[in-house]
Amino acid sequence: MKFRQIIALSLSALIAYSMAGCRPLPQNAKTSGSTASSEELKPESGAKLTFRISSSNQLNFAKNIAKKFEQKYGVKVTVEDGGVYDQNKVNLEVASNMGPDVFMSPHDKTIESQRSGLLLKLDEQITKELKNEVNEVAMKTVTVDDGVYGVPVSIEIYVMFYNKKLVSGDPASSFEQLLKEAKSFNNAAQNKFWFLSNVSEGATMFPMLSVYGYRPFGEDGTDDNKPAFDTDEFEKGLEVLKKYHDLMPISSGDLANWDFLTNQFITGKTAYFIGGPWNVKAFRDAKIDFGVTSLPTYDGKKEISFAFIQNAQVSAYTKYPKAAQLFAKYLVSPEAAELLYTDASCITSRKDISQVKGLSDDEQLKAIAKCFDDSIPMPTAKRLSYFWTITSSIGPAVFDGKMTPKAAAAKAKSDWDSLLKAE
């Protein structure tokens, strides 16, 4: 799933937050108390599973990995295309025993689902194996309190693409270098811009906001009460956002149009573009000679991207908890990692991608995977939707020069307080 879709959907949680509460696990819900190894963990007799994906891009992968799982374990897996992930729909279906046994979801929904009693705590040995095999950043997104409640399947992150026909030699590594180079290329009348990035969404703004240490919802992104809008780090981050207008002399409204941004890059009117692995196929189809590099530094400091992970969750209500856990773990197996690449052009969350056929030779996706190690997981705080709403309101105004960083920081704090009062 593209992150901008996830972000848009998170806004709906403004309503869902007031409705969702913690509740005890019903008596008919399953728990994982087994300590047997996954080699010994065998599917229940007569087990059959339903696996729901949240993006059509995953469909071929899901069907093919389901076939491989059936061949290995003798368990039939029916694949459902659930469309864009809907937390409320999952909550209702799972709680009524009508939902899927295993389902994909963006990682920011894990804590909410776990606290609502919807997720199965995974077997201890499976947990141990996942920690050995899966990227540490990704594992943080399925770890709640003392247990693991899902399997990280694929990873995504924002990186900087560059057009090799426009960029000679090594790509730029700093904002300052980009700004210097842009002076001889930028031409608003011809719609030419050396560098472009969306500045209307919290996820794409965050790298700029992160420069001086701003971290919403605490260091681990779980503290609902610490958006940190009242910090010097946040205001300094807004100063960075404002400065980016010198590099991109264009309105935030135009930059909010993803089709415009990608077309600019494809047609050679933009040398650098901030995007993610979801852009790779379109660039390749357009036969663009492009490279991938990390986000630029600013004032000698790293810009940090949120990490976005698609997780496979096991329903606490599944009739076949052993089979469901085995299937969820199988989604991050070496076989699955290969299919994930060939069928969906996605990057596995496995630590070692050197043995993944195809991916190991893909210089562009390997570069994206390397950048992932410097990222931090997108916050999982239940009030994350408030962050998206507030930043999408003040960020464009700062970029366009309609509001000072100081005034924007004050408005962010005021809007936060108003949202809390409305709960």
Are 162 and 177 within one domain?
Answer: yes
Are 35 and 68 within one domain?
Answer: yes
Q: Which of 52-61, 116-125, 297-306 has the lowest mean pLDDT?
A: 52-61
Domain total of the chain: 2
Are 162 and 202 within one domain?
Answer: yes
Domain boundary among 377, 393, 411: 377
Question: What would the pLDDT profile of 385-414 be if each residue is shown by its tens digit?
Answer: 999 999 999 999 999 999 999 999 999 999
Expressed as residue numbers, the domain containing 246 is 158-306+380-421
At residue 9, the pLDDT reads 42
The whole-angstrom separation of Cα 128 and Cα 322 is 16
User: pTM for this one?
Assistant: 0.82
Are 200 and 247 within one domain?
Answer: yes
| Contact indicator for 205, 241 with CB cutoff of 8 Å | yes
Question: What would the pLDDT profile of 266-279 be if each residue is shown by its tens digit?
Answer: 999 999 999 999 89
Are 221 and 318 within one domain?
Answer: no
Find the mean pLDDT for residues 52-72.
92
Question: What would the pLDDT profile of 171-187 be if each residue is shown by its tens digit?
Answer: 999 999 999 999 999 99
Task: Output the DSSP codes for 306-339.
Answer: EEEEEEEEEBTT-S-HHHHHHHHHHTTSHHHHHH
Question: What would the pLDDT profile of 217-251 be if each residue is shown by its tens digit?
Answer: 998 898 999 999 999 999 999 999 999 999 999 99
Are 280 and 416 within one domain?
Answer: yes
The band of 38, judged by pLDDT with boundaries at 50, 70 and 90, is low
- CA distances 368 to 81, 107, 292, 354, 362, Å, are 27, 19, 7, 14, 10
Are 205 and 217 within one domain?
Answer: yes
Give the whole-number percent of the chain exceeding pLDDT 90.
Answer: 75
At residue 58, the pLDDT reads 86
CATH number at residue 167: 3.40.190.10
Question: What would the pLDDT profile of 109-162 be if each residue is shown by its tens digit?
Answer: 888 888 888 999 999 999 999 999 999 989 999 998 879 999 999 999 999 999
φ, ψ for residue 185, nearest 5 deg:
-115, -40
Are 209 and 265 within one domain?
Answer: yes
At residue 94, the pLDDT reads 73
The band of 56, judged by pLDDT with boundaries at 50, 70 and 90, is confident
Are 16 and 52 within one domain?
Answer: yes
Are 215 and 283 within one domain?
Answer: yes
Are 200 and 316 within one domain?
Answer: no
Are 396 and 363 within one domain?
Answer: no
